[in-house]
Amino acid sequence: MSTLKNGIVCSPAIHAPGEREITFSQAIREAVAEEMARDERVFVIGEDVAEAGSVFKVLVGLLDEFGADRVIDSPISEAGIAGIGVGAAITGMRPIVDIMFGDFTTLVMDQMINQAAKTHYMSGGKLTVPMVLRTTLGASRRSAAQHSQSLHALFSHIPGLKVAVPATPYDAKGLMKSAIRDDNPVVIFEDKMLYQQKGPVPEGEYVLPLGQADVKRAGEDITIVATSSMVYTALEAVDKLAEAGISAELVDPRTTTPLDTETLIESARKTSRALVVDEGYQQYGVTGELAAVIADGAFYYLDAPVKRIGAMNVPVPFSPAMEDLTIPSADYVFETAKAMCG
């Protein structure tokens, strides 16, 4: 059993002590590079992905390693490159389409929802769309309302798409590799604030299944389900709860679609309390689905209503004095969980 710098425990079966640590950003790059080396059908297209290695520097080096044919700087045409992704995918390639900020996925909705998600089905199973849409989520960079959203719920709603929201470098690498190998369109949301986050990642090759939750911390009194960087927020709360004598179990679904409902429900049945934390807008977001699934599946075991904490239902404001209020804080998670156990 190995422990991340910040105290996250990873699945014991997978990690060995003394493993190397790399950043989330490096983990993504490794995953992409390994898959590009493994399968020449994989290519990357997006704005400033080649020369600049993406604005978050996640892809630096790929251009040198794989050349301009496979790491392609595009015009600022999100809808167009998503469409190119679909077309390339159904004709034998495995594109990775890079959408710089998750906020700009609003521009690719038609290609993802009406084309990518439905092509396999509408063709009666004949065409497949093995593409990955890489993008970001997460606030708190003082980037205001159009560069701070966590819009993963929108894609999670659409059958035919898979959606991954990795929290750790380990998960990021394993899920990215699976996403690239998957024969379906997968949207992967990377939290901008996590790119420098370090964590253990084994040297060797591994993939993680899409649709398998990970228990990041085992506990007895309450289940906290958290996604993406909210895993770290929740972890801080878990530590504080421990100090207050409350043993919390931290479950990370890792993918919202498919959702590992079983693990979520099992955990809630065991602890008899559940709290869901996600950085998307709370209304009609990920917390709603997860809470509904748990409240239904664990109904007869629950000692308290399932609570949820999403981002405030407001556009993300610029001013630091306001922005930090809009996203779930460790304190608030702690207080809420504590009250539930009271």
Ligand X SMILES: Cc1ncc(C[n+]2csc(CCOP(=O)(O)OP(=O)(O)O)c2C)c(N)n1
Catalytic residue IDs: 78, 147
39-68: contacts with another protein (CB under 8 A): 43, 47-48, 51-52, 55
Angle at 317 between CA 313 and CA 323, to 5 degrees: 85
Residue 111 interacts with another protein (CB under 8 A): yes or no: yes
Contacted entry of ligand X, another protein, a second copy, none for residue 281, CB cut-off 5 to 8 Å set by kind: a second copy
Least distance to ligand X, CB of residue 131, Å: 19
Contacted entry of a second copy, ligand X, another protein, none for residue 29, CB cut-off 5 to 8 Å set by kind: none
31-60: contacts with ligand X (CB under 6 A): 47
Residue 67 makes CB contacts below 8 A (sequence gap 6+) with: none
Distance in angstroms (rounded) separating the CA atoms of residues 110 and 108: 6
Least distance to a second copy, CB of residue 188, Å: 17
Total residues binding ligand X (CB under 6 A): 6
Other residues' Cβ atoms within 10 Å of the Cβ of residue 300? 7
Residue 100 interacts with ligand X (CB under 6 A): yes or no: yes
Residue 258 makes CB contacts below 8 A (sequence gap 6+) with: 162, 210, 211
Residue 108 interacts with ligand X (CB under 6 A): yes or no: no
Site string for ligand X, 75-94 (x = CB under 6 A): -x-x----------------
Residue 261 interacts with another protein (CB under 8 A): yes or no: no
Quick one: which of 56, 66, 104, 170 contacts ligand X (CB under 6 A)? 104
Q: Are 247 and 19 in contact (CB under 8 A)?
A: no
Residue 125 interacts with another protein (CB under 8 A): yes or no: yes
Residue 218 interacts with another protein (CB under 8 A): yes or no: no
Contacted entry of ligand X, another protein, a second copy, none for residue 75, CB cut-off 5 to 8 Å set by kind: another protein
Quick one: which of 23, 136, 326, 336 contacts another protein (CB under 8 A)? 326
Distance in angstroms (rounded) separating the CA atoms of residues 342 and 337: 9
Give whole-number Cα distances, 129 to 118, 160, 211, in Å.
9, 10, 18
Distance in angstroms (rounded) separating the CA atoms of residues 146 and 46: 19
CB nearer to ligand X: give 35 or 78: 78
Least distance to ligand X, CB of residue 121, Å: 18
Q: Which two tokens stand for residue 68?
A: 């301009």
Cis-peptide into 305, omega within 30 deg: no
Per DSSP, the three-state class of 152 is helix
Contacted entry of ligand X, a second copy, another protein, none for residue 295, CB cut-off 5 to 8 Å set by kind: a second copy
Short-list 192, 227, 216, CA closest to 308: 227
Distance in angstroms (rounded) separating the CA atoms of residues 91 and 102: 26
